[in-house]
Structure 1
């Protein structure tokens, strides 16, 4: 095999809120990864610089060895920062290995089990009427599945009016697109356990595809009772960082869909293991991905390979992407080949995309310091964003 010793590590903080990683090997093959915690890009960047001493001189093809070394080699392990740093490195190593062997990553995982992957598009507006119009536009763009935030800021236990407001929005979208379109509802951890059943009961009549993050990940022990309360599938996982986090909700039979993020949950190496664990519990996987093109490309490699992959999130046109969108960093803007709400089987080696490095370097000169909003209730107390 070619000399895949890693010789150089480069990081690029690029708009709207992403961090890209480029690894260069002795033979000249490069790999790209996307290690970032949204709102903590500089922190993850610092973490990678700490890890760099282990990266330089390591063979990029020894992916599992590197993963175990970084995860187990530190006395303190896990968490969003370390796992996101490791995720981006892992993605880049798989990209290098696939390019070296001239095959897509999914071939190295055992091959493809499907010819295309359904994706969903985000809608995010303030009023029911605006949401309905946004949903219609997404359908015209070719999407057959949507996702939206189910509610805005919520008190620990909130008023019936807030619940009715959430139902009115879902009702407007369902009426606008009909029953053939899938609509996922993201609670974003904004709802606390005592309010969750009222929200479920109000939204169930409009046939959501799933309820996502009904409660915060630290309150996952409430999910079992909520799952038993509703016929709508329960999804969670974007704020869970390893198979050990997912093990608990799977053992409790508390979820129907797990949503590990390829830039947070240990990269391709770990998410493949999470998907296999989920399959053993008859649970689907739908990778979380409101991030950039590299994270999406990594998620799609999992989707093509894993039999229980259900649907894929994408940040195409998402409300965070102000000024710069997902495909702007690709050499080919049609690099994902989106057709009829699906991404067809990707055939290029590695992660399957070609990054426009000139554009990345130019954007990195601008950089970003994105932070998520801080929300407060009318009484001044902080609430979940």
Structure 2
């Protein structure tokens, strides 16, 4: 079998899909994207195509190494996201060729279903108590929300109180029926992160996410000394080599590699295994589309340390197009009692609606995250 063609589609709300075709008629799909830089990643896929046309798509490990090690400069969000989407598509092809789900090729599933969580509150968290009640009524047992608006290095305790009051409102509304992950989103700098983490403790969050930006991971040691809340990070880390110092430092409790950013199924499976050796839990990052989620579930299926999975259904980014809009059979992502069953179909287990993708494809479409500023005019972390 040989790869004959590759084609990328930029589609709303902020996704990029990749179709890889072979001379045996087997097609694989991947999701190579950096949110807000979709066209840059698409260009990277086009450059990597030179290594792929005519190659055997079943030789996934060798192809991964060629794509990663074949260039003198390597790593980072754009390069690794391009590799991620290609890798997902190759696993999809291999599973379809052998007529089994990808997780069967990775050793077989160690669970039947995966717990999932939903987003509430939007970019600027608001009305979270009623939103969490709605999620509870839909059967979800866990949610995630942004902790704060923008914060300066040193900021007002009023903003800390506002963040704490939102969590308190959730507990007042639903008690402990729902687990709540709180995403600091890299908006919080070390001085305020220590204060906020300590103030949130009485409300027993499931975790705090990215309490500082990953380039400041050394600060996790001090934050960990100020709180007993599990610390999660990793969505902006792109390879096992990026994660290695985090594991060695020992201050992260949960890692969140993104299957569309951190080298795809091949690399994230290795990252998950490394984390297990350090007694660290896995909760893959996935505010993206159906191919990314299906890829996550393949790794979740074979990772003993996977405990919960992010998914984007109803997320505030998905205005006009949602998780299930580009798949032919929506039931593959049927959420029941806060869980989703592992995909049973061959490959990634999702049948992509190519006709809808082609209609939605727009090379002029641009999604950009907002640029926030503090009151003094300086740029704020979003």
TM-score range, shorter chain: over 0.9
**Aligned: 1:130 with 2:127:** yes
**Aligned: 1:72 with 2:69:** yes
TM-score, length basis structure 1: 0.97
Give the corresponding residue for 1:330.
327
Shift of 1:126: 8.2
Match of 1:307 among 304, 312, 315: 304
Give the corresponding residue for 2:226.
229
Figure out how many residues of one structure are paired with residues of the other and give that number.
382
Match of 1:274 among 271, 275, 289: 271
Q: Secondary structure at the match of 1:117?
A: strand
Shift of 1:102: 0.4
Q: Distance in 1 between matches of 2:93 and 2:277?
A: 30
Shift of 1:337: 2.2
Deviates more, 1:357-366 or 1:43-52: 357-366
Distance 1:252 1:127, change over 3 A: closer
Distance 1:126 1:80, change over 3 A: closer
**Aligned: 1:262 with 2:281:** no
Q: Distance in 1 between matches of 2:242 and 2:125?
A: 36
Contact map agreement 1:375 1:382 (CA 8 A) in 2: yes
**Aligned: 1:246 with 2:225:** no
Shift of 1:227: 1.6
Q: Distance in 1 between matches of 2:226 and 2:244?
A: 22
Contact map agreement 1:128 1:173 (CA 8 A) in 2: no
Give the corresponding residue for 1:171.
168
Match of 2:314 among 314, 317, 330: 317
Structure 1's unaligned 5+ residue stretches are none
Give the corresponding residue for 2:181.
184
TM-score, length basis structure 2: 0.98
CA RMSD of aligned residues (A): 1.2
Q: Distance in 2 between matches of 1:70 and 1:129?
A: 43
Q: Secondary structure at the match of 1:158?
A: coil
Give the corresponding residue for 2:89.
92
Shift of 1:127: 8.6
Deviates more, 1:191-200 or 1:173-182: 173-182
**Aligned: 1:145 with 2:106:** no
Q: Secondary structure at the match of 2:127?
A: helix
Deviations 1:275-328 (A, max 9, x none): 000000000010000000000000000111100001000000000000000000
**Aligned: 1:118 with 2:107:** no
Shift of 1:229: 2.0
Contact map agreement 1:128 1:172 (CA 8 A) in 2: no
Q: Secondary structure at the match of 2:94?
A: helix
Structure 2's unaligned 5+ residue stretches are none
Contact map agreement 1:257 1:286 (CA 8 A) in 2: yes
Q: Distance in 2 between matches of 1:35 and 1:161?
A: 40
Contact map agreement 2:9 2:358 (CA 8 A) in 1: yes
Give the corresponding residue for 2:100.
103
